[in-house]
Amino acid sequence: MDENDIIERRACISGVGQSDIGRRLFRDPLELTLDGCLAAIEHAGLTTADIDGLSTYPGPMGTPAGFSGAGAYDVMDALRLNCGWYGSGLETSGQLGSVVNACLAVASGLATHVLCFRSVYEGSAQGEKGRAAVMPGGGGGGGGGFKASGFMQWNLPFSAPSAAIWIAMFAQRHFHQYGTTREQLAWIALNARRNAELNPKAIYRDPMSMDDYMAARMISSPFCLYDCDVPCDGATAVIVSRRDRAKDLRNPALRVEAVGTRIDGRPSWDQFDDLSTMANRAAGKQLWERTEYRPSDVQTAQLYDGFSWITMSWLEALGLCGLGESGPFIEGGTRIARDGQLALNTHGGQLSAGRLHGYGFLHEGATQMWGQAGERQIARPPEVGVIAAGGGNTCGCLLLVRE
């Protein structure tokens, strides 16, 4: 591939920011969103006058409750931004699809500094009723005459309303094909927790042992409670800048070396042809087709863990271990530790640091690569990092290189 075709390389990450993060903050979601956005702009060494692009996932959505704290227009208006390009949407290559779009926008000259954000308030929206509050019919039973349509008609009548179940079935297939075990799977959660212990913004910071994990109640086999991420409130923002206009900014540019957005097979949770992998298999492959770097060059991986097995799936999809070999790869937790060969989910992932929905991984990867991660900093700040988000039929990834 001609290097001139890999136009995402004209883009870089120049700043990141986050609002307060909490299990249930009961704050105005737009206010949280703006806190995160302003923090990222400031972190990049920019002002709102410099921002001329805006991108978010998923855009305004009423349901599920708390899934979207603000849309692009909300932020554009509140910060009085003038934009050469903007956009949002749910139908893209995962949460990071919005960041890829921003890279393409700066590469094409439509914008110079694009503010990208993801804002959630699922913790507050669920309130004391927990997950039941956001189930169809509003929880509490009866369904109120609610009828399922669209793709939900194919799982709600079977009492399968949650992605926990859908992803659990992928994991079960992986267990069947490759002999993966819960003792292996546990290391995604245990590694996340030991990292979260050092992250002051993480939701769950108490130490967790293998015994704790094995004693937890089952949700949907093979997933127990600790295999499921924790709903929270908070907003994360990143600035995507044109690389040739980022040289004098506050942080060294993190070049977007390559992205992966491809999907093959059916865009479906249950009709996908190989239930031991997901849409990420193609996105991961595409990423490596666009760069001379190899998986062995990666020093940190920040890989989505909406459910623990998704991280294992990304390890395989990105070639960071062999197909079907993620179980042995993570077993014992040594390779994936902060001082291991592949520091993984160093902030605690969504399992322990909160379901910031994809952007938390990009925030953490960039923070580690800039050496700004405080107590949890990897000893030698990584020069090469891979970030991936999404599961099922919505998956995307980025390879970042510090300049």
Partner 1 sequence: MPDVEETAPPFRILPKLTDHNRDFWTAGVRGELRFWRCQDCGFYIHPPQPICPTCHSKDIRTESVSGRATLATFSVNHQPWMPGPDLPYIVAIIEIVEQPSVRLTTNLVDCAPEDARIEMPLRVTFEHHPDPDGDIYIPLFRPDAERGE
Interface with partner 1 (CB under 8 A): 131-132, 135-137, 139, 141-143, 146-149, 151, 153-162, 164-166, 168-170, 172-173, 176, 217-223, 269-271, 273, 275
Q: Which is nearer to partner 1, 110 or 164 (CB)?
A: 164
Tokens 């949002």 appear where? 88
Q: Strand, helix or coil at 326?
A: helix
Least Å from the CB of residue 32 to partner 1: 27
- Report in angstroms how near the CB of residue 64 gets to partner 1 at its nearest: 13
* Cis bond upstream, residue 58 (ω within 30): yes
- Single-letter code of the amino acid located at 189: A
Cβ closest to partner 1, residue 188 vs residue 202? 188
Please give the angle made by the CA atoms of 99, 346 and 175, to the nearest 5 degrees. 90
Q: How far is the CB of 270 from partner 1 (least distance, A)?
A: 5
How far apart, in Å, are the Cα atoms of 35 and each of 38, 48, 157? Answer: 5, 13, 40
Q: From the CB of 165, what's the least distance to partner 1, in Å?
A: 5
Q: Which two tokens stand for residue 190?
A: 């245990």
Of 188 and 387, CB closest to partner 1 = 188
Residue 230 vs 384, nearer CB to partner 1: 230
Q: Compare residues 4 and 149 and give the one whose CB is closer to partner 1.
A: 149
Helix 308-317 and helix 163-178, axial crossing angle in degrees, nearest 10: 50
**Rounded to whole angstroms, how far apart are CA atoms 76 and 182?**
45
Q: 152 vs 323, which CB is nearer to partner 1?
A: 152
Min dist. Cβ of residue 380 to partner 1 (A): 41
Q: Which is nearer to partner 1, 270 or 325 (CB)?
A: 270
403: its two tokens: 């300049």
Q: Specify the DSSP element, H or E, that contains 17.
A: strand 11-18
CB 342 → partner 1: shortest distance, Å? 28
Collect all residues with Cβ–Cβ distance below 8 Å to 121 and sequence separation of at least 6: 25, 27, 29, 32, 66, 69, 233
E-strand spans in 261-326? 300-303
**CB 363, min distance to partner 1, A:** 30
Between the two ends of the chain, the Cα-to-Cα distance in Å is 22
CB of 95 to partner 1, least distance (A): 23
Residue 122 is encoded by which pair of tokens?
């699922």
The whole-angstrom separation of Cα 8 and Cα 4 is 10
Residue showing tokens 């959505």: 61
Q: Which is nearer to partner 1, 111 or 219 (CB)?
A: 219
